[in-house]
Amino acid sequence: MQERWSTASVALHWLAAALIVGLATAGFVMADLPADSRGRLLLSRLHTLVGATLMLLTGARLVVRRRGPAVRPLPVSELHRQGVGVVHALLYMVTFAIGATGFATGARSAWSAYLRGQLAEAPALAALASREVHEVLVFALLGLLLLHVGGVMLQQVRRGGVLRRMVPFLK
């Protein structure tokens, strides 16, 4: 068993983290822009493209994690280990659910016509249940990310060594 995650796992982890932060930021910013602004159209196109990329990347992360070499378990209680497993599983499930609700929102609206520039302004999506669920899931994901980061920091303070497993420049 290895002490560190593989280079591929580390790279995919940090790329996914950056994309999630960027997507959440873009989503909240674009929703506040005027429906007919060029900035909203640009952010909408980027949000859609990067969101689809994140779904593919998340699938790749799961494959790399399953097929990659095992990492030595942290020295924690079994209950703690199960809690960590639940948080990780929820991170993956909520990420995929966000992608699914984003796709459903686009499929049930004039979103694709808007992205192609065929509409002068963004379609009103607030009335779609999938759009509302999409936003709630984003907040859930951000909460899970805070829980994840907080857990990592707590483990680092208590026992040390946990950051070395995933931070590339810490050897």
Q: Which tokens go with 82?
A: 């199960």
Kindly state whether residue 49 falls inside one of the protein's structural domains: yes
Kindly state whether residue 170 falls inside one of the protein's structural domains: no
Kindly state whether residue 171 falls inside one of the protein's structural domains: no
Per the structure, how many domains does the chain have?
Answer: 1
Rounded to two decimals, what is the model's pTM? 0.92
Kindly state whether residue 18 falls inside one of the protein's structural domains: yes
Are the C-beta atoms of residues 98 and 141 closer than 8 Å to each other?
yes
pLDDT band for position 21 (cuts 50, 70, 90): very high
Kindly state whether residue 132 falls inside one of the protein's structural domains: yes
Which residue range forms the structural domain that includes residue 106? 7-165
**What is the pLDDT at residue 159?**
87
> In this predicted model, what pLDDT tens digit does every residue of 115-164 receive, in sequence order?
999 999 999 998 999 999 999 999 999 999 999 999 999 999 998 889 99
**What is the pLDDT at residue 23?**
97
Mean pLDDT of the chain: 94
Q: Which of 2-6, 7-11, 75-79, 93-97 has the highest mean pLDDT?
A: 93-97
Kindly state whether residue 131 falls inside one of the protein's structural domains: yes
For 70: left if phi > 0, alpha if psi spans -120 to 50, otherwise beta; the answer is: beta
Give the whole-angstrom CA distance, residue 21 versus residue 103.
Answer: 19
Kindly state whether residue 17 falls inside one of the protein's structural domains: yes
